[in-house]
Every structure is written in structure tokens, then in C-alpha cells.
Structure 1
Amino acid sequence: MSEQNTASMGKLSRIFALIKQSLKGEELDFTQGSIRRAVILLAIPMMLEMAMESVFALVDLYFVGHLHNSSHAIQTVGLTESVLTIIYSLAIGMSMAATAVVARRIGEKDPIAASKAGMQAIVVAVIFNMVISIAGFIYAKEILLLMGASAETAEHGTTFMQIMMGGSTIIVLLFLINGIFRGAGNAAIAMKSLWIANIANIILCPVLINGLGPIPAFGLTGAAMATSIGRGLGVCYQVYHLISGKSLLKVKLAYFSPHWEQIKALLKIATPGIFQFVIASCSWIFLAKLVATTGGDHGSAGYQTALRLMMFFMLPAWGMSNAAATLVGQNLGAKHLERAEQSVMKTIKYVAIYMATVMAITFLLSRYFIAFFSNDPLIQEVATKALHIMSIGYILYGIGMVLMSTFNGAGDTWTPTWVNFFGFWLFQIPLAYLLAKFLDMGPTGVFIAIPVAETAIAAASYLLFKRGKWKTIKV
């Protein structure tokens, strides 16, 4: 019995040591050693990073959900987040390219080339986003109306939208610099930057929304202010670690001078990556508008509440799938093709276990989660139905995310772009429209279309993964 206890204590000690190492923040060589250990070391901080990212929307949703006229506030936050996904698309597309190139160079044992690639990605992303940011600030109200918001909701939410769009460069930098660190294998820095951003947001949200002492109550606008300040602090933490000289990635001013061949190589990967997420984002925007037009303000608010909760549960799985991207990139750089594929299959196993657990929790506790964010019974009813239907496909959502990250980590960004195009625009949108409008199912039809389409996307991705074209991509 004592031997069993000793063995159990030893195993527990090794697990805690592994968790501690994953959270410490250091660049490691993931091209050798245990694949399971490599997945865990990358996945834990990446899961926590994505969990922190999802907390932003939930914190805003919680505080604005308890404001007067909460349906307008919730709808504004949800619709603004839907529009911001286009910004996220730019950020994620460039982040994807940076992760792929940086990971490949790290796998080739060339950290200087990795640093140069990362800095060039920052220059390109900031220039492109400034144009979108300015346009979004000027036409904030028109965008909300275009999204299906009522005139009253658009009036209430214009300033919120302007702050979020105006500060979107911060969002781009937060995603992109984290992608650079992930490519280098230092996922803990990315995680900690979002911890800082979230702690600031959680503290500032109630203060700026409800007021405190000499600080006035800004209401809905306060949520945007808190989020922008929080993200800004996260970026400051990232920049500090880039310029401190302690990281494997060394930053020099000369690396920011445009290098057209490097920019061309990054854009070759990033452009389809951006399209990939724009395709998905525009699909979600269409679905949000379809729910708003068929279900009214309460239907829209219920759907947005369910969507935020779903993303909260799914983003850690996305974080885990990012581990596959780093492992694939570094191992392809080191010419370890078989190890790259084994890393993907091991990650799929862990993601499937996580998503199965989350699905069970969602079915058992969804009403309690939703009640926490809104006390409106009409919103609660729609949100509960939406969450139950959408969560049916959780396991396949997770598997699909890992496979998409595999292609992206290898630099094969065109494959998932085409999968998204067919899966979302030629299947999900027509199916949702058919069910919601022609079969008169309203928002329920939209909810059903989501897991059906995601299942088809996961199946197509697996078939393409087994074909192995991703192993031959040069970056």
C-alpha cells in the first residue's frame, strides 16, 4: 500500500512540476522528447490564454446585462463583437502567418530570422488596421444599423462601437504579438499578457460602468473604455518582454525597416488566413442579423448571450489547437514529418476529452450560466434553447479547430480557407436561411444550422489532413 502511495505521490509531483513549467514562460525545443509532454506544456498556457480572451466579452456582458434597458446594451455588445471579428480576422491572419514562419525558423534553429519575421508582421498589421479602425470609428452608428440593430439600440451603442473600433489596433497587437511568442514556443508570455488585460478589465468595468466616488457612471460606454485600457496594458507587457532581451526573440529597430521579400512571404500565408476568418466572421454576422430580424431584440440578445457562453467554453479548445500549430511548424522546420502528425493526433485526443466534458456541463448548468448574465426571462428562454442546440456539436467543433490549426501552422492557409468558404457560405448560410425563413423556424433554424455545418467542416478537414499536402508546404 505504501509503495502505491509513493508511486501516486511521485506521479502527482511530476504533474505539478509539468504545470509549473508550462506556466513559467520559457522557450523550449519541441522537436524532440515526449510528444504528450510537448502538447501539455504548450496547451495549458494556450488554453488559459484563450479562456482569458473569452472573459473579456463575458465581463462586459455581465455588467451591461444588469443595466437599465439591458436588451439594447446586450445587443450592442454582441453586435459590436460580431463586427470586431473582422478586426480579429486581420489580427488572427497575421498572427497565423507569424506563428507559422517564426515556428519554422525556430525549428531550423535560426532565431534571428524568426525575430525579423515577427517584427515585419507587426508593421504590416498595424498599417492595414489603421484604415479599418478609422472607417469603423466614423461609421459606427451606420454599422450597427446595418447589422440589424433597432434605431434605439444603434443610438445607445454608437459611442461603445466608436471606442471599440478606434482602439482596435490594440486588439491586433495583442493577438499578433502573442502569435509571435507562441511560434517561438513561449506560450506563457501570451497567457500572462491576457491575465494582466483581464484583471484590469474586471476592476475597471464596474467602476467605469456604474461610477465610483469622483468617477462618473459611463454606462455602456464604460465597458468599452475598460476593455480598451485592459488590452492596452496587456500589449505594454508584451512589448516589455520583446525589448527586454531575455527572450529567444531579439528586437532591433532595424528589424522594423520594411523587408519586401519577408513581407511578401508573410502576406502569402496571411492573406488566405485573413480570408479564412473573414469568411467565418461574415457568416456569423449574417447569422446574427438573421436572428435579429426573425427574433427581435430579445431573440438577438438571447442568441448573443448563448454565443458568448459557447465561445467561452470553446476558446480554451482553440488555445489547445494552437499548440498543434506550434508543434507542426517547429517539427516541419526540423524535418520531423511523422512527429508533426503524431502531435496533431495527440492534441485531437485531448481536445475531444475537454469538449465532451464541456458539453455535459453545458447541458446540466446552462440555465444557471445564462441567469447569471441576464434576469430577463425572454432572453433566458432564447439563450437556453440556443446553447442546448449549438452545444450538441462541441466535440466535432474541437476536432475541426485542431485540424484547421494544423494546416495554418504548416503555412497551408489556403486549405482551411476553402473549407470555410464551402462550409459556411455555401452550406451554413443557405441552411440557416432555409430553416429560419422558408420553414418559418425563426432563430431556432439558425441554431440548428450551426452544429450541422460545423460537423461537415470537421469531416472535410479530417479527409484533407489524411491526404498530407500540408507536410509539403514551404514557408
Structure 2
Amino acid sequence: MTDVDLTQGAIISHVKRIAIPASVGMLFNTLFNVVDTYYAGKLSTDALAGMTISFPIFFIIIALSSGIGSGATALNAIALGEKNKKYFHSLSYNAVFFGLFLAVLIALASPLMVPFLFELSGATGLSKALGIQYTNVIFWGSIFFILNSVLNAMLNAQGDTKSYRNFLIIGFFMNLILDPLFIFGWFGLPQLGTIGVALATVIIQVFGTLYMLYRLNKSPTFELQAFKNAHFNLEVMFQLFKQGFPASLNMMTIALGVFVINFYVLKYAGSVTIAAYGAAMRVEQLILLPALGLNIATLTIVGQNFGAKNFERIFETKQKTLRIGIGMMVFGALLIYPLAPHIISLFNNDQAVIMAGTHYLRIEAFALPTYIILNILISALQGIKKPNFAIYIGIYRQIFIPITLFYFLGTVLDMGITGVWWGIVLNNWSATIIAYFYTKRVMKSLG
């Protein structure tokens, strides 16, 4: 247990050991998406717009897999903090079962769900058709996305973020080769366009599942025989659902939030700005990357110390990760403002797209610290088995306020697309203030 025990030792050392590999992995995951965006932009503006519109729909898979993964990470970390390896393996077994069940449901629902969601988004024409083609392939490969999140959860709970980092790095380089191979039909292969982008992604996820299984079997806590001896347990499944569902629903609200943003962007601006927003989101993700590993570090360290009832270490973890994250985001905001047009031009050389993307990024820079503050606070709450707040703040931040605020700023005050961008900033800061004081009150109740 000494290799995975986060209940002792310097917290900053644990944060670095967990957060840095996780952030590096997320960097390559984002670069993976940047490659997809780059090649979609080379295909056409319609292809780029279609994939941007598909993002909140694709996010359904991300939300479900991330919810199961973060829920399993929290419960497995708590089990390790309690030194209960039998429960660790029971959780792991049931998390795999749960993940497979959800993946089958997604694949069966996709033929009806995907076209309906694109209709609901207001997409039309070629961008709609290309987006549907891309999303259908992704939905059929959802089993591998979900399995990778579950397997990664078992490793994260032990403080191992290096394995997933390795997969994401390898996956990025695989994508550099597979994307153009399938998109443009190199070496005699058929030209698949946006379908090729999705096919490359699914193949890489299959590789990831095999690699993560290998790494899990080599980990210090996992025992294959103990996993085989575990069985389906309704109570364990309920605990996973109780812990993971709020995280999934919170992620779903993010998808709905992007859906709402896309709706208002189409209403006030059109497909060119949608394409610009898609490229700008990739840039924003890159800026957020150095701090996002702090979420996993917070969840894992807080979870193990909650299991061990080391409450002072929980408080210390929250405070230190917040300070580090805020500092990184302030630096990122100062960096993104002057460089915005140059970065957007890497994705698309259309001057209208560059101007629209720059306009968004220079306003969004004021909201950057809110993302990391919210993520760390929600991770800390999940680590102490208080996951439900994520649902409420997600509905507030992604649906309730945007629907009213974007309309008020964009239509009533006649700010148009600028009202949408400033609405995101105001909305995020209000949610961050609420989350901060709520978390502070809950933490005081621990003792």
C-alpha cells in the first residue's frame, strides 16, 4: 500500500505526482482534438461547422464515461483509504459491468437519437449531414470510451495518472497518421471525410482499452483473482450510480450548455461563427490544460483522506490546488489575449473565422479562472461523497441562466453575439461564487 497511500506525506508532492502526468495526458488529448479540428477545417468550413455542432452530442458519451470514471475513482480511493481491498475489487468489477450496459444502450439508441439532436440544434444543409455521419460512428464505438474511463478510474484511485497519459500520447501520434489516411484516402483507401475522423478515433480507443487492461494488471493494488472472485452486487451498483450519476449529469449539462451556446450563435451570427467557436474552444482547452490535472489530484487525495478520516489534509488539499489553479489561469488569460488571432489562423485562414474566434477568446479570457475553481471544488465535494451539488450548479450555469441571460443581452440589449460571449463570463463568475461558499460551509461540517 505504500506505493499508493496518499494519506501520508507532503500533499504538494502528491499533487505534483498525480496532476503533472494527468495534465500532460490532457494536453495530448486536446492536441488529438486539435488534429481532428485541423483536418476538418482543411476539408471545408461545413465539415468544421458540422463537427462543432456535433460536440455537445458527442459529449453525451464523454459525460457518461466521465461520470462513471470519476464516481469509481472517488469510491475506489475511499476504499483504499479505508484499507479495504476487497471492496476496491468489488467496485471495479461492478463499474465495468455498469459501463458495458450503458455502452450497449448508447449504440442501440444512436440511429434515432443522433438525427433528432441535430434537428434540435438548428443545423441545416451539408454541415448537418457531415456532423451526423461523424457522430454515428462515434456512438457505435462508445463501448471503448466508457471502458477506458472505468479502467483509468481504478488506476487514478491508486494515484497512477501516468498510464492514461501514456495512452493519450501514443493516441495523439496514431491520430496524426490515421486521420489523413482515412479522411483523404491515402494508399488506395477510400476517401471517408468526416467518417474517417471518427473511425480513426474509435480505432485509437480500442488500442487504449487493451493498453489500460495491461497497465491495470501490473498495478500494485489490483489482483486479477480478486477481480474474478467479485460478483454483481446491486448495493455496489447503487453506490456507483449514486456517486457517478451526479457527475454524469453535470457533464450532460455542459453538453446542453454548448448546445444552448450553439443555438444562440446560429441565431445571432451563423455557421462562420460556429466554425470560429469550434476552433476557439480547442485553443481554450489548451490554455486550461495545465490546471485540469489538479481536478484528478484533488479527487484522489481528498477521497483517500476522507476514507482515512484525515480531514485536515482534505482542507489543505483544496486550498493548495485552488491557489495553483488560479495562478495558472491568470497567466493563461494574459497569454491568450494578444495571441488570439494568430492561434485561430492555424485552424482556418478565412478572415471572418479568425475575427470571430478572436472576438470570442478575448472576452472569454476573463472567465478562464472560473473553470478551474469550479472543477476543483466539485472534485473536492465528490471526494467526500457530496456529489449532488454538481447537478444543481450545472443546471444553474449551463441551462437556467444562459437561456435567459443570452436572450436578455443579445436581443433585449441588442448586443448580439457579443452578448452571448459576455453572458458566459457573467454566468461563470456567479456560479463560481455560489460554489465557493457552499463548499466552504460543507467542509466546515467535517470537523
Quickly name the TM-score band, shorter chain normalised. Answer: over 0.9
Give yes or no for contact 2:77–2:300 (8 Å, CA) kept in 1. Answer: yes
2: CA distance, partners of 1:470 / 1:267: 26
> Aligned pair in 2 of structure 1 residues 79, 174: CA closer, same or farther (>3 Å)?
farther
Q: Which residue of 2 aligns with 1:429?
A: 403
Q: Which residue of 2 aligns with 1:56?
A: 32
Deviation of the 1:158 alpha carbon:
2.7
1: CA distance, partners of 2:400 / 2:219: 48
Give yes or no for contact 2:182–2:191 (8 Å, CA) kept in 1. Answer: yes
Q: How does 1:33-52 map to 2 (within 5 A)?
A: 33-52=9-28
1:250 aligns with 2:236: no
Give yes or no for contact 1:321–1:405 (8 Å, CA) kept in 2. Answer: yes
1: CA distance, partners of 2:74 / 2:5: 16
Q: Which residue of 1 aligns with 2:167?
A: 193
Q: 1:75 aligns with which of 26, 46, 49?
A: 49
SS for the counterpart of 2:187 is coil
1: CA distance, partners of 2:343 / 2:386: 38
Question: TM-score, normalised to structure 2's length?
Answer: 0.94
Q: How does 1:160-175 map to 2 (within 5 A)?
A: 160-175=134-149
Q: Which residue of 2 aligns with 1:28?
A: 4
SS for the counterpart of 1:106 is helix
Q: Which residue of 1 aligns with 2:158?
A: 184
Deviation of the 1:471 alpha carbon:
6.6
Give yes or no for contact 1:94–1:125 (8 Å, CA) kept in 2. Answer: yes
1: CA distance, partners of 2:144 / 2:73: 19
Give the letter for the 2:386 counterpart.
D
> Aligned pair in 2 of structure 1 residues 165, 235: CA closer, same or farther (>3 Å)?
same
What is the aligned length?
Answer: 445
2: CA distance, partners of 1:144 / 1:306: 21
Q: How does 1:150-169 map to 2 (within 5 A)?
A: 150-169=124-143
Give yes or no for contact 2:260–2:399 (8 Å, CA) kept in 1. Answer: no
> Aligned pair in 2 of structure 1 residues 111, 192: CA closer, same or farther (>3 Å)?
farther
> Aligned pair in 2 of structure 1 residues 339, 239: CA closer, same or farther (>3 Å)?
same
Give yes or no for contact 1:60–1:77 (8 Å, CA) kept in 2. Answer: no
SS for the counterpart of 1:339 is helix
Q: 2:388 aligns with which of 409, 414, 423?
A: 414
2: CA distance, partners of 1:367 / 1:45: 30
Deviation of the 1:469 alpha carbon:
4.8
Q: Which residue of 2 aligns with 1:459?
A: 433
Q: How does 1:57-456 map to 2 (within 5 A)?
A: 57-67=33-43, 70-242=44-216, 244-252=217-225, 254=228, 257-456=231-430
Give yes or no for contact 1:62–1:373 (8 Å, CA) kept in 2. Answer: yes
2: CA distance, partners of 1:351 / 1:131: 37
Give the letter for the 1:71 counterpart.
T
Give yes or no for contact 2:155–2:219 (8 Å, CA) kept in 1. Answer: no
Deviation of the 1:241 alpha carbon:
2.0
Give the letter for the 1:75 counterpart.
A
> Aligned pair in 2 of structure 1 residues 353, 443: CA closer, same or farther (>3 Å)?
same
1: CA distance, partners of 2:435 / 2:184: 46
Deviation of the 1:311 alpha carbon:
2.2
2: CA distance, partners of 1:189 / 1:112: 23
Give the letter for the 2:37 counterpart.
L
> Aligned pair in 2 of structure 1 residues 246, 421: CA closer, same or farther (>3 Å)?
closer
Give the letter for the 1:248 counterpart.
T
Give yes or no for contact 1:208–1:222 (8 Å, CA) kept in 2. Answer: yes
SS for the counterpart of 2:287 is helix
> Aligned pair in 2 of structure 1 residues 137, 309: CA closer, same or farther (>3 Å)?
farther
Question: TM-score, normalised to structure 1's length?
Answer: 0.89
Residues 89-141 of structure 1, C-alpha deviations (whole Å, 9 max, x = no match): 11111112101110001111223321221221121122023212322244433
SS for the counterpart of 2:321 is helix
Give the letter for the 1:251 counterpart.
L
Structural RMSD (CA): 2.0
1: CA distance, partners of 2:146 / 2:438: 30
Deviation of the 1:188 alpha carbon:
1.0
Residues 353-398 of structure 1, C-alpha deviations (whole Å, 9 max, x = no match): 2112211221121111100001111111111111111121212322
List gaps (5 residues or longer) in structure 2.
none
SS for the counterpart of 1:373 is coil
Provide the identity percentage: 26
SS for the counterpart of 2:186 is coil
Deviation of the 1:32 alpha carbon:
0.9
List gaps (5 residues or longer) in structure 1.
1-25
1: CA distance, partners of 2:18 / 2:275: 35
